[in-house]
Amino acid sequence: MAFLDVDQPKTPVQWIIWLAAMGIVMTSPLGAVAIVGSLREELTKRKGFREKEISPQNLSQALYYAKKRKLIKIRTDGDKTTMILTEKGKKRKLEYDFNAIEISRPEGWDGRWRMLMFDIPEKEKSAREALRDKLIAMGFVLFQKSIWIYPYSCENEVDFIGEALGIGKYLHLLTARIDNDQELRSKFNLSA
């Protein structure tokens, strides 16, 4: 799934939350300067960041923000310091994951269509609208009312979105072949 692999955080606070979700353990003594140094060291091993974004000053501010907003806790056990996500931090990370989720496109198409059908009750209207917005952002096309279509495997992503929005039980994903699908193929720029 793309959101677990490629979509790494873009801001220092997102990096702090991401590293805390990984349960990063720092072997430096407790102290803001040492923690920031350990975080910088950890981030230099990773891709997807700009050097100035992980300056000690930016990381220190992000760490302060994350602690002040109660997104993380810092625990010390002997010479090990661990950043841990709080429940509020876990919710924020889920929002980041939800916003970053994308469907990987394989090199070739298997000729099958993924049809997502749902009948979400009116009491879940905001979740239904969030689902529609996310489907459009991911490239799904409306096939018929409450039936969206996509050409590539997307089971894990649909499951994640359903769970994140609390509407998984209303989502039904079918994989099918469609006769005379030239119009659909053209919408997705697929060759015959």
Residues in the chain: 192
Quote the pLDDT of residue 104: 86
CATH numbers and ranges of domains, the chain? 2-100 (1.10.10.10), 113-187 (3.30.70)
- In sequence order, the β-bridge partners of residue 82 are 25, 75
Please, what's the b/e burial string for 160-185 (b: 16 or more CB within 10 A of its CB; e: otherwise)? bbbebbebeebbebeeeeeeebeeeb
Quick: pLDDT tens for 127-146: 999 999 999 999 999 999 88
Quick: pLDDT tens for 61-91: 877 888 888 888 887 777 777 778 888 888 8
Distance between CA atoms of 12 and 119, rounded to whole angstroms?
Answer: 39
More confident residue, 104 or 8: 104
Helix (H, G, I), strand (E, B) or coil at 98: helix
Say what the pTM is.
0.64
User: Closest by alpha carbon to 11, among 130, 96, 115?
Assistant: 96
More confident residue, 149 or 1: 149
Average pLDDT over residues 34-42: 70
Position 51 pLDDT exceeds 90: no
When mean pLDDT is compared across 49-53, 109-113, 187-191, the lowest value belongs to 49-53
